Structure 1
Amino acid sequence: MVVSGSVRLLHLNGFTFLPLLAALTVFAPFQVQAQESSPPAAPNQVQPLEGTETNELRPLTQDNSLLSLQGGQRLMSEASSAVSAQNYALAMKKLQDARQVFNQLSNFYQELAGSFSGIDNRISDTQRRKAVETAQMRDEATYQLALVHRAQNQPELAVPLLVQIIRSQNPTRDLGKKAYQQLFELGFVDSPYPRTGNNSPSSSAQ
């Protein structure tokens, strides 16, 4: 009786084990294939950005960047087109934006020049030169904005801009002279500059 019971138990255990063995045989290849198709990434491995070029990593060097010389010059060109179309409201907006861009650039370059002074004179001199160039562009945008205000019969808005140009440029420089001439034509100042004839004072500032 004991032998018979043992045989019956073995048969049951055998039937129970066969389906489990079949299931393991069916699913095992899929598990291996899944691991082979997606191997784990190596630690500290940096994946390259596909389609990325060096220039794309320097956004302020792109033509569509606003905080750049190219961005300010694009605004000046758009303002010129607006003036040609007699769209003075758009021209004023573009010139105000250009003036702000150039002013910010000039201030930033000046701060960098001061920061590198005595540390790296090459960088300091380069940034100082850029500060001067962008300040010149700012004053040119300011002058064009003053002309638009004058064309709109708004001398009260043009005068402060012209005075700012003279203070920035110096009256002896070309843009400073043009700004003072505008003040004279508007009647804000009485004496022309430079003076002509015997009343012309000698000036060493060039």
Structure 2
Amino acid sequence: MNFIDRLIPLASLAMGCSLAIMPSVSAQPEAVQGSSSELRPLQSSILSMSGASQVMDEAIAAISAKDYEVAVAKLQEARQVYNQLSNFHLDLANSFQGLDNAVYDAERRSAITAGEMRDTATYRLALVHRVQEKPELAVPLLIQVIRSQSPASDLGEKAYQQLLEIGFVNREFTRPTF
């Protein structure tokens, strides 16, 4: 089940609500009661690092089972979710820049972590395409990884090596030592 399919039951549920039974919304927010552990409904949602990691685990299991079609679908879903998480956390970080440095730093770190996981899912998707003998699908994914991570990173260097093995590039790359 993809991300959109998981949202459809929620949307249809919301559409079925009558305005007569919906509580009135006041202009002033009410104080939230309860412990902070009760206020974390996204922790088990697809729109969380743990939810995206679960999709990634499903992709890895499909790769191990050589079910490459399922692996492709799961890796594409993981890429989408990690990308959304990265963008959302970056947007939040930018909103707090100059207002609260602790929130800014925490959200920026979350954006970077989600971006790194997106790039890992992208790299794995490219490898699956190589196994499927579809290098033309792997090339743009590998270039995305290099552009995002830099050729000097571990993942960027691996992505460039894949491009060399595919025959898209002809020149070896040796990561500079600083």
| TM-score grouping bracket, smaller chain normalisation | 0.7 to 0.9
User: What SS does the aligned partner of 1:178 have?
Assistant: helix
CA displacement at 1:56 relative to structure 2: 4.1
Q: What is residue 129 of structure 2 aligned with on the other side?
A: 149
Instruction: Provide TM-score, normalisation by structure 1.
Output: 0.67
CA displacement at 1:55 relative to structure 2: 3.4
Corresponding residue pairs, total: 146
Separation in structure 2 between the aligned mates of residue 172 and residue 54 of structure 1, nearest angstrom: 41
Percentage of identical aligned residues: 56
Counterpart AA for 1:55: S
CA distances 1:151-182 after superposition (whole Å, capped 9, x unpaired): 00001100000000000000000000000000
Separation in structure 2 between the aligned mates of residue 100 and residue 56 of structure 1, nearest angstrom: 27
**Unaligned runs of at least 5 residues, structure 1:** 1-48, 196-202
Which of 63, 72, 86 is the matching residue for 1:106? 86
Which of 10, 13, 37 is the matching residue for 1:55? 37
Moved over 2 A (4+): 52-57
Q: What is residue 93 of structure 1 aligned with on the other side?
A: 73
Equivalent residue runs for 1:64-143 within 5 Å: 65-143=45-123
8 A Cα contact 1:110 1:131, kept in partner = yes
CA displacement at 1:61 relative to structure 2: 1.7
CA RMSD, Structure 1 to Structure 2 (Å) = 1.8
Whose RCO is larger (CA < 8 A, sep 6+)? Answer: 2
Mark the structure with the bigger radius of gyration.
1
User: What SS does the aligned partner of 1:194 have?
Assistant: coil
Separation in structure 2 between the aligned mates of residue 129 and residue 54 of structure 1, nearest angstrom: 22
Separation in structure 2 between the aligned mates of residue 77 and residue 122 of structure 1, nearest angstrom: 31
Instruction: Provide TM-score, normalisation by structure 2.
Output: 0.78
